[in-house]
Structure 1
């Protein structure tokens, strides 16, 4: 299942680039990077155990939390989950010929579940609508794949790096330990318990000095079984300059409503 999800993760580039702009011909030549096997971990530890000796199945890892399977099982057929998207800011020097607001986007992403076990993503901005792809329910909620692809494309466009390299680093971060803590959020007027998962994909990257503010990119997911579709919010934030305090790039996706 992990390889299938990562394959779709890479394939979502087509949908993201069609909305954000880019060369589809170049993307067509991309080959999916092999995913590390279950025995490969960054610490040399067996993937079947944690540092405390517990089995991985007893303590879900970063990948299992963020790409949890079956999260759409409780979502009714033909239901629609609407996610608000707010993206703006820069974390790299302005490129000549590119407007300062080139990364700004205010719109929504609609997830529609079909009767044939398919899931359709539709991006909306004002009166404009564009398809972001159709996926099997078995992969879980594909919203996170779209979100991560949009982040890596924005980073590549601003900092000038390779989207393939950035994607591979994010994949690697999904197989490493993350910061996880309990939080309380409000949904439909009620307080619910959730988990906040935070990763820093480029904290130890050897190419940090060429990533500008994106070297300190932080990706945060707030998750809960009480939230339809599992994701309460997904956000990515980077300072304007590396090590800086002022926020530059920001991309936030938040569940707005469920329509039955």
Structure 2
């Protein structure tokens, strides 16, 4: 399986995105003008986020679920980046643990960090569970708003005691949904991706939040995955 990488047609990337982690079909890379992608798509799904990871390496992410909707928990996500021959990179993922663990296939020739796809795949399965809707529909909404409605802004993060330049991509897939009434309870759900080339793997944080009824209320549901750093004993070079 090949993770989406530039340059390829949007038709190819949109077929692959958010289904890459649950299918075994390899899709060919088709030549196209990279300008066909929105800035949000490039940042989240296309950029070579693994460029600063020296394989073999392992990256850890904390995962925290909270909110009033359901009991929360804290867990961990791990991706293992390795070479196969002269090719880099092949990625294995361990997403959560115990009964929450999500089975993931190995992704070959990855350039973008698949931890984003893993997070979104779990999110889509949760939306399907909570709403009884169809996973394909939720994938479509995320994809469409990533192209047409996502907002991108420059920001800064703190990582290992230093300030790092980053980009934040945010979207509300269900706010403008023509079928919003079917999922009204989740219409204000917001997705935020924080990307930074100066941290290992290029992905600092991914989070979703369903706000409370009133301004200032705690979120009804929030899930946050944040880079903790290389696995113990695995020091990775970082951009100063």
RMSD: 3.1
Task: Decide whether the 8 Å contact of 2:49 with 2:203 is kept in 1.
Answer: no
Q: Which of 30, 39, 59 in structure 2 is aligned with 1:81?
A: 59
1:56 to 25, 28, 35: 35
Shift of 1:202: 1.3
2:91 alignment partner, one of 119, 132, 142: 119
Give the 3-state SS of the residue equivalent to 2:200 in structure 1. Answer: coil
Give 5+ residue unaligned stretches, structure 2. 1-7, 26-31, 235-240
CA, structure 1 residues 191+199, in 2 after alignment: closer, same or farther (shift >3 Å)?
A: same
Once the two structures are overlaid, the 10-residue window that deviates more, 68-77 or 236-245, is 236-245
2:208 matched residue in structure 1: 236
The alignment's TM-score, normalised by the length of structure 2, stands at 0.76
Residue 195 of structure 1 corresponds to 167
CA-CA distance at 1:7 after TM superposition: 2.2
Residue 10, structure 1, aligned to residue 19, structure 2: yes
1:124 Cα offset (Å): 4.0
Q: 1:142 aligns with which of 114, 136, 146?
A: 114
Deviations 1:162-217, CA, capped at 9 Å, x for gaps = 21111111111121142122211110111111111111111211111221331111
Aligned residues: 213
TM-score by length of 1: 0.71
Q: Which 5+ residue runs of structure 1 have no aligned equivalent?
A: 15-27, 32-37, 39-47, 49-54, 92-99
Shift of 1:151: 1.4
